[in-house]
Amino acid sequence: MWSAKVFTLYPEFFPGLLDLGIYKRARTKKIWNLEVVNIRNFAIDKHGSVDDKPFGGGKGMLMRADVVNNCLAENKNNNSTVYLSPKGKQLTQEMVKNFSEANGLNILCGHFEGIDQRVIDANKIEEISIGDYILSGGEPAAVVLLDSILRLLPGVLGDEGSLEEESFNNNLLEYPQYTQPREWEGKKVPDVLLSGNHAEIKRWRLEQSRGITQRQRPDMWQKYNKNKN
């Protein structure tokens, strides 16, 4: 069973969306498990403080190293630990796949201006970003990360074969897809998709994927051409 452990100041955020649909069914079937740890329970003063002003000045507050470290020391397991941060490595499908093939993951959610760097370094925590934008906290990012991982676990999706043709596999974005009705507001489904010629359909889809990737993700297009050669 794949195990997720989330460290957060807002445990009520979880499981949230992960308690719906395929993920709820998969958790019921014990394909994956979620444990949520409240960092506030490890505050060391009578006021329950978890943050303080940054040394050197600056706006905002930082989560204290001692509080976060006490929480991790008592609760994290042998799985890898990641901290969701805008200054981390950008999350990729390859990273997601690697996480899904492990036994599980510890996820540390920051807040305020982040977490004292010393606790990150001391625990050898990998910093990961889900994109070049800022969120109010790590909890939404944790849900995104878990969503991307859980769908890759065997038995979670109904048709696991569909994973092979998704965007980012082979450094190409996915081709356009169509369903009923065949004509909608004057727009028709491409004839090739109705032809029954599977070789032509496969060729058309590859051409579409190449064109979309070249236009919208030139960085991926370069990787695709490099790997192709």
pLDDT digits (tens, 9 = 90+) for 85-105: 999 999 999 999 999 999 999
Looking up residue 193, the CATH number of its domain turns out to be 1.10.1270.20
Lowest mean pLDDT among 27-36, 42-51, 76-85, 141-150: 42-51
In whole angstroms, give the CA distance from residue 201 to residue 190: 10
Examine the domain organization and report whether 69 and 133 are in the same domain. yes
Is 160 within a domain?
A: no
Examine the domain organization and report whether 120 and 175 are in the same domain. no
Which pLDDT belongs to residue 161? 56
Domain ends where: 121, 150, 179? 150
Range of the domain at 10: 2-150
Name the helix (H) or strand (E) containing 205.
Answer: helix 198-216
Residue 228: band (very low, low, confident or very high) from pLDDT cuts 50, 70, 90: confident
Examine the domain organization and report whether 179 and 143 are in the same domain. no
pLDDT at position 83 over 60: yes
Looking up residue 7, the CATH number of its domain turns out to be 3.40.1280.10
Neighbours of 47 (CB within 10 A): 7
Give the β-pairing of 187-188 and 183-184. antiparallel
HEC string of 9-77 equals CCHHHCCHHHHCHHHHHHHHCCCEEEEEEEHHHHCCCCCCCCEECCCCCCCCCEECHHHHHHHHHHHCC
Residue 160: band (very low, low, confident or very high) from pLDDT cuts 50, 70, 90: low
Q: Which residues are CB-neighbours of 226 under 8 A, at least 6 positions away?
A: none
Quick one: residue 30, left, alpha or beta (phi over 0 = left, psi -120 to 50 = alpha)? left
Residue 203: band (very low, low, confident or very high) from pLDDT cuts 50, 70, 90: very high
Are the CB atoms for 15 and 47 separated by under 8 Å? no
Distances 219 to 46, 163, 172, 224 between C-alpha atoms, Å: 51, 22, 10, 9
Examine the domain organization and report whether 180 and 137 are in the same domain. no
Examine the domain organization and report whether 175 and 135 are in the same domain. no
Is 38 within a domain?
A: yes
Is 20 within a domain?
A: yes
Examine the domain organization and report whether 48 and 102 are in the same domain. yes
Examine the domain organization and report whether 25 and 59 are in the same domain. yes
What does the buried/exposed string (b/e) look like for 84-113 if buried means 16 or more CB atoms within 10 Å of the residue's CB?
A: bbbebeebeeebbeebbeeebbbbbbbbbe
Measuring CA to CA, which residue among 76, 59, 69 is closest to residue 117? 69
Question: Rounded to 5 degrees, what are φ and ψ at 218?
Answer: -60, -25
Examine the domain organization and report whether 108 and 8 are in the same domain. yes
Is 155 within a domain?
A: no
Examine the domain organization and report whether 38 and 114 are in the same domain. yes
Tally of structural domains, the chain: 2
Examine the domain organization and report whether 59 and 114 are in the same domain. yes
Name the DSSP class of 166.
Answer: S
Put simply, whether the predicted model's pTM sits higher than 0.85 gets the answer: no
